[in-house]
Amino acid sequence: MEKIVIADNVWILVATALVFLMSIPGLALFYSGLSKVKSILNTTMMVLVAFCVVSLLWIAYGYSLTFGQDIGGIIGSLSYAFLSGINPTDPAPASENLYHYLFIFFQMTFAAITVALMAGAFVERMKFSAWILVSILWFTFVYAPVAHWIWGGGFLSEWGVLDFAGGLVVHETCGIGALIGAFLLGSRKEPIILPASLPIAVVGTGLLWFGWFGFNGGSALAMNNVAISAAFGTTMAALTGGLTWMALEWFKFGKPTTLGLITGFIAGLATITPASGFVDIWAAVLIGFAGGLFCFLAVVYVKNKFKYDDSLDVFGVHGVGGMLGAFLLSILAKPSVNEVSGLLFGGSLSFVLVQIAGIAVVGIYTAVVTFVIFKVVSAITGIRLTIAEETTGIDEIVHGEKAYNREY
């Protein structure tokens, strides 16, 4: 019997291209538009180089560690290292309706953007060489194991932890990693956002949002009702998250800003991600509202209270949003959407507790390993630029370039 479904492969190939677009140029434009003029190119480079390095490591050993034969619930074997034994005509073991190469390609973009997302917390002060080394080690020892635990048949999937498109695997890990790294790096000399170009950031937001159709819709791994529901719900959550953030900002500070609106869009997108394939549209609206509210509180109050310099609010938006969405999944999942029942639709309290346990395990593991990685890299290369280099401008000092031929 033929297992490959052509329509599914067409959709997932498109979804892969959409997720690729999220990073290059979407995330690069979003982050660089929010950075200072003198570091806009360095910020872009951090995103691009992380995507490139992780993609190569993915086909060398990352895919195998994530989706290879399970070893004790902890990690995959190296049976697929360097894509050994995989032919272009083979179906993917994890999704037999897709070609194996396509499944590897799709999952590669998730791994790459996760590391690239974390860069937003470190811009304007981190050594470029240190960032490359952190990217390699963090992908190997954080992303690959966590992705295996949940998506590759590891122990969290055996517990029953669910994460449709990466609230835990992508957003929680990069958010917690960003928080720990920001504490260890210390604050910038000018620890405020001075956007080089808000219009560029808006374009980046639009590309991220557009790419999220592939990120969440593609995670159905087929062209079916779940893919459509996930994409529709993703859009409604983003809209609601943006409007919620804008309203809160308007109420607190007296002015609705472009930066607040687009940040709220991303908060809604991050929060709906783990639940997108399990909830209906009205639940997605509620999740978008919760994402806008709680991520706003994290950025405006928690960050100020603890005085950490997460430059572009990776923890406050992605970390908080991913964890919140994974929890709300256990409350709002509707069986008519994807055969999973949340607490409000007849599900058990044990499912809620399992999701909380998954959030805790991923968070603690990520924090500890990220701490170790930063300490190791600090001992090898150092991680922080000098104040003089930061003041002069990273673009000129590190890359010998300027984004613009005039000064602002």
Sign of CA dihedral 40, 111, 341, 359: negative
Rounded to 5 degrees, what angle do the CA atoms 358, 152, 356 make?
5
Residues 6+ apart with CB under 8 A from 224: none
- Domain ranges within the chain, ordered by starting residue: 6-78+94-399
75, β-bridge pairs:
71
Give SS3 for 71. Answer: strand
The CATH architecture of the domain made up of 6-78+94-399 is Orthogonal Bundle (1.10)
Could you tell me the mean pLDDT of each successive run of 10 residues in the chain, 408 residues long? 86 98 97 96 98 98 98 97 95 96 98 98 96 98 98 98 98 98 94 92 98 98 98 98 98 97 98 98 98 98 95 98 98 97 97 98 98 98 92 91 74
User: How distant, in Å, are the alpha carbons of 127, 271, 299 from that of 319?
Assistant: 23, 9, 11
What angle, 0 to 180 degrees and rounded to 10, lies between the N-to-C axes of helices 198-212 and 225-253?
Answer: 150
Q: Which helix (H) or strand (E) holds 23?
A: none
Of residues 156, 178, 46, 176, the one with CA closest to residue 112: 46
Against a cut of 0.75, is the pTM above it? Answer: yes
- CB hemisphere CA count around 180 (13 angstroms): 21
| Nearest-angstrom CA–CA distance, 72 and 112 | 26
Give me the pLDDT at residue 357, please.
98
The mean pLDDT value of the chain amounts to: 96
Other CB atoms within a 10 A radius of the CB of residue 382 amount to 12
Residues 6+ apart with CB under 8 A from 153: 70, 76
Give me the pLDDT at residue 3, please.
87
C-beta of residue 199 within 8 angstroms of C-beta of residue 10: no
Residues 6+ apart with CB under 8 A from 63: 80, 83, 104, 107, 108
Q: Which backbone phi and psi does 284 adopt, to 5 degrees?
A: -65, -40
C-beta of residue 76 within 8 angstroms of C-beta of residue 69: yes
Q: Which helix (H) or strand (E) holds 316?
A: none
C-beta of residue 63 within 8 angstroms of C-beta of residue 108: yes
